[in-house]
């Protein structure tokens, strides 16, 4: 079930009606939201509902076991850590079986000359990377003493809650479960959901996905990356820039819709994007791009590896390992490994340069020329890495980067695509205060004007949208 479809619109209206009717009856509300989430997930393939339910039951049991050992041993002793490791290993084994089994079989087949077609092929469940990372955060936070185990229905809803189930943001158990427990104790949250903010987010997300992302994919990106050898230099360069905007519009659009839907149901999800193409360093980029993933990798991988506590060499190793594994999290492909290695190498290089030149200035203190140069370099490192992220194969990525025939004529769509890319980059500089003021003004309008404006906006989005809407890019992860 895709967000920008009539099917989801009907589904969400039914869920919203149930939420309004049952919001003061916590047990009934909980059951309705859990059932709706499994309907949403099972819409692709109902058999994967058993996988999601099994993950919920297993991690609920692990959480209880870890808490029991933790409390009996008065803290994070070796027994507690071993149970956490077992729980994390079980989750990673599940993820590895479905996501990396084929990659491993192909690698072994290439190494030993075995026909990989003889091996069993597994279908990748939608969103398995996201709910597995959430499950890991649940058991690890219990082991750290930051969270107490939750009842089974709460754990199930935490993993299955449909707004963020298939493509994030990655919501922490320490954020979601206390809200759920408070709802059980007190019924609905105090006050009403900010309708204006919710509809603003949903409307902005629909525009970014249905109009901007779909247009760039259709006109500039998909055809070039599918057959880069047949494209000229202008087409390829424009396709790289267009993909940088496409993936941002696609993923941040999904996130906006997810956060808006969750807000209407009484949950506040964390911000996942903060004008990432305004970044003036790679570290700054990762503070702004897919924030829920970057902070997850920092807290559950980089810091446990040692972070920056072991000296420069180990710090650079930890950065590289974190980003390479982060790349591999996106998919079982050498392209993703290279994408992660580019980001890890860039982060390590920046850290090395800062160590050699310890005087650091804030972004506000940079000269206009210096700030522009740093922005330009950062943006092009990111775009360079996107080539490997998007290209179907390493050979295609190499072709995109190395073969630049001159165009006989400028394609007719070039000015329009370049204009969309330029406007998208300019909007990254919109002051956050302006956005907050506009949202606050919309919140004060009241339900009827907001509903009318939302309806008009949807009509506009449908009118501007290309024929058909492709699945969100991050569904494959």
Contact between 155 and 128 (Cβ < 8 Å)? no
Rg (CA), the chain: 23
Q: Is 330 a catalytic residue?
A: yes
Rounded to whole angstroms, the Cα distance separating 89 from 93 reads: 6
Other beta carbons less than 10 A from residue 174's beta carbon: 14
Buried/exposed 404-415: b ≥16 CB within 10 Å, e otherwise: eeeeeeebeebe
**66 HSE (CA, 13 A, CB side):** 30
Contact between 471 and 254 (Cβ < 8 Å)? no
Closest to 324 measured CA to CA, from 340, 335, 303, 300: 340
Which tokens go with 204?
Answer: 């902005």
Other beta carbons less than 10 A from residue 475's beta carbon: 16
Which tokens go with 167?
Answer: 């493509």
Backbone angles phi, psi at 312, to 5 degrees: -60, -45
Catalytic residue among 19, 30, 316, 330: 330
Contact between 260 and 202 (Cβ < 8 Å)? yes
**Residue numbers annotated as active site:** 330
């Amino acid at each position: 079930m895709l967000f920008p479809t009539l099917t989801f619109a009907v589904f969400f209206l039914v869920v919203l009606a149930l939420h309004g009717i049952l919001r003061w009856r916590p047990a009934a509300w909980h059951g309705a939201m859990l059932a709706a989430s499994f309907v949403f997930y099972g819409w692709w393939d109902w058999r994967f509902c058993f996988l999601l339910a099994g993950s919920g039951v297993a991690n609920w049991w692990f959480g209880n076991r870890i808490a029991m050992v933790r409390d009996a041993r008065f803290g994070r002793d070796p027994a507690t850590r071993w149970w956490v490791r077992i729980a994390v290993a079980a989750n990673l084994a599940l993820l590895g079986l479905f996501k990396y089994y084929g990659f491993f079989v192909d690698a072994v087949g290439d190494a030993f000359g075995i026909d990989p077609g003889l091996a069993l092929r597994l279908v990748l469940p939608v969103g398995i990377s996201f709910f597995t990372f959430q499950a890991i955060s649940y058991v690890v936070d219990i082991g750290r003493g930051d969270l107490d185990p939750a009842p089974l229905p709460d754990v199930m809803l935490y993993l299955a809650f449909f707004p963020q189930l298939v493509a994030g943001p990655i919501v922490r158990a320490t954020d979601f479960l206390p809200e759920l427990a408070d709802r059980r104790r007190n019924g609905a949250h105090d006050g009403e959901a900010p309708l204006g903010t919710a509809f603003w987010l949903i409307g902005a997300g629909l525009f970014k996905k249905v109009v901007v992302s779909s247009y760039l994919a259709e006109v500039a990106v998909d055809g070039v990356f599918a057959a880069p050898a047949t494209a000229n230099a202008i087409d390829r360069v424009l396709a790289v820039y267009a993909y940088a905007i496409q993936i941002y519009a696609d993923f941040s659009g999904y996130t906006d819709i997810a956060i808006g839907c969750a807000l209407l149901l009484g949950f506040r999800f964390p911000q996942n994007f903060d004008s990432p193409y305004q970044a003036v360093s790679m570290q700054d980029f990762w503070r702004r791009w897919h924030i829920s993933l970057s902070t997850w990798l920092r807290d559950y991988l980089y810091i446990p590896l040692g972070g920056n506590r072991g000296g420069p060499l180990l710090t650079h190793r930890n950065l590289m390992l974190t980003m390479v594994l982060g790349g591999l999290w996106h998919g079982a492909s050498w392209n993703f490994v290279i994408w992660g290695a580019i980001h890890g190498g860039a982060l390590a290089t920046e850290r090395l340069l800062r160590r050699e030149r310890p005087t650091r200035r804030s972004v506000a203190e940079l000269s206009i020329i210096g700030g522009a140069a740093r922005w330009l370099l950062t943006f092009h490192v990111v775009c360079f890495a996107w080539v490997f992220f998007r290209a179907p194969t390493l050979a295609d990525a190499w072709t995109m980067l190395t073969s630049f025939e001159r165009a006989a004529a400028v394609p007719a769509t070039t000015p329009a695509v370049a204009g969309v890319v330029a406007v998208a980059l300019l909007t990254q500089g919109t002051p956050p205060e302006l956005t907050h003021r506009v949202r606050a003004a919309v919140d004060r309008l009241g339900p009827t004007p907001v509903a009318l404006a939302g309806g008009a906006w949807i009509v506009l989005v449908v009118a501007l949208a290309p024929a058909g809407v492709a699945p969100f890019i991050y569904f494959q992860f």
